[in-house]
């Protein structure tokens, strides 16, 4: 209409998120894994850019960094949280399968293969050597131990397991697993002793631990068997 300004639609800007290496490979983006000769850390190299645990690593001048009047959000604090004082490193939800930190698996952990030719194979961790995890398979007729890349493994839990949170803001909490929903466990807390009803939980959330109506939903990487 004449005399009236037509409001322009704002272009949709997707929210920022951590890099998922598996998604990049599915899009046929070339990803190379390289080791830094100085730090010894492994990085995912994409067209000259270095990524680790979903973050882009860059070398910048200290003069170009301003730390004044910075108010990080809760999600940012969770993503960039430093390792705990006891030396246990944190593992983010977005990197549960793709990029695990060293020391995530320990001997005795129950695991399941989530990728590759051995998918759905269950077993127990015998030892860990860098990126390879040696597991004792549950299925008979297989070798005594099998070496599986850590990216192809996930910890395995079943309803009835009694677990303890070993990292995160709820470290030390214990409870019984009542339901497994993809990468999240619904746990009946030992301290509440209340019945748990099903509550929807978005597995793509950046929060590693969620408390909903006396229910504790924990990312699998934060838990161990009691």
* Contact between residue 133 and residue 147 where contact means Cβ atoms under 8 Å apart: yes
Q: Which residues make beta-bridge pairs with 36?
A: none
Q: How confident is the model at residue 183 (pLDDT cuts 50, 70, 90)?
A: low
Please state the φ and ψ torsions of residue 75, each to the nearest 5 degrees. Answer: -60, -40
* Contact between residue 178 and residue 159 where contact means Cβ atoms under 8 Å apart: yes
- Residue 36: per-residue pLDDT: 81
Q: What is the DSSP letter of 205?
A: -
CATH class, range 87-156: mainly beta
More confident of the two residues 136 and 36: 136
- Residue 204: per-residue pLDDT: 31
CATH 2.30.30.30 location in the chain: 87-156, 162-225
Sign of CA dihedral 47, 50, 52, 58: negative
Least confident of 28-37, 62-71, 79-88, 125-134: 79-88
pLDDT tens, residue by residue, 138-166: 988 889 999 999 888 888 878 887 777 66
Residue among 183, 214, 188 nearest 201 (CA): 183
Question: Whole-model pTM?
Answer: 0.42
* Contact between residue 166 and residue 222 where contact means Cβ atoms under 8 Å apart: yes
Cα–Cα distance, 151 to 133 (Å, whole number): 10
In the chain, the percentage of residues whose pLDDT exceeds 70 is 56
More confident of the two residues 26 and 78: 26
Q: What is the CA radius of gyration of the chain?
A: 21
Q: How confident is the model at residue 170 (pLDDT cuts 50, 70, 90)?
A: low
- In terms of Cβ atoms closer than 10 Å to its own Cβ (0-12, 13-18, 19+), residue 139 is exposed
Q: Which residue has the tokens 């005594």?
A: 144
Topology of the domain covering 162-225: SH3 type barrels. (2.30.30)
- Residue 145: per-residue pLDDT: 92
- Residue 144: per-residue pLDDT: 92
pLDDT tens, residue by residue, 125-138: 999 887 889 999 99
């Amino acid at each position: 209409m004449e005399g009236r300004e037509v409001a322009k639609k704002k272009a949709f800007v997707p929210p920022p998120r951590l890099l998922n290496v598996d998604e990049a490979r599915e899009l046929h983006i070339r990803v190379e894994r390289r080791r830094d000769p100085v730090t010894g850390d492994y990085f995912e190299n994409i067209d000259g850019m270095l990524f680790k645990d979903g973050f882009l690593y860059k070398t910048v001048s200290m003069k170009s960094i301003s730390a004044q009047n910075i108010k990080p959000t809760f999600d940012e604090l969770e993503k960039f949280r430093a390792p705990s004082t006891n030396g246990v490193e944190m593992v983010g939800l977005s990197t549960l399968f793709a990029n695990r930190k060293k020391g995530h698996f320990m001997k005795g952990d129950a695991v399941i293969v989530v990728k590759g030719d051995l998918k759905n194979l269950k077993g127990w961790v015998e030892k860990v050597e860098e990126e390879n995890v040696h597991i004792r398979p549950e299925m008979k007729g297989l070798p005594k131990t099998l070496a599986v890349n850590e990216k192809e493994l996930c910890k395995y839990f079943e309803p009835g397991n009694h677990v303890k949170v070993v990292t995160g803001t709820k470290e030390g909490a214990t409870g019984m697993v009542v339901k497994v929903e993809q990468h999240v466990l619904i746990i009946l807390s030992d301290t509440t002793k209340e019945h748990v009803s099903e509550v929807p939980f978005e597995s793509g959330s950046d929060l590693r631990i969620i408390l909903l109506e006396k229910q504790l939903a924990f990312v699998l990487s934060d838990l161990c068997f009691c």
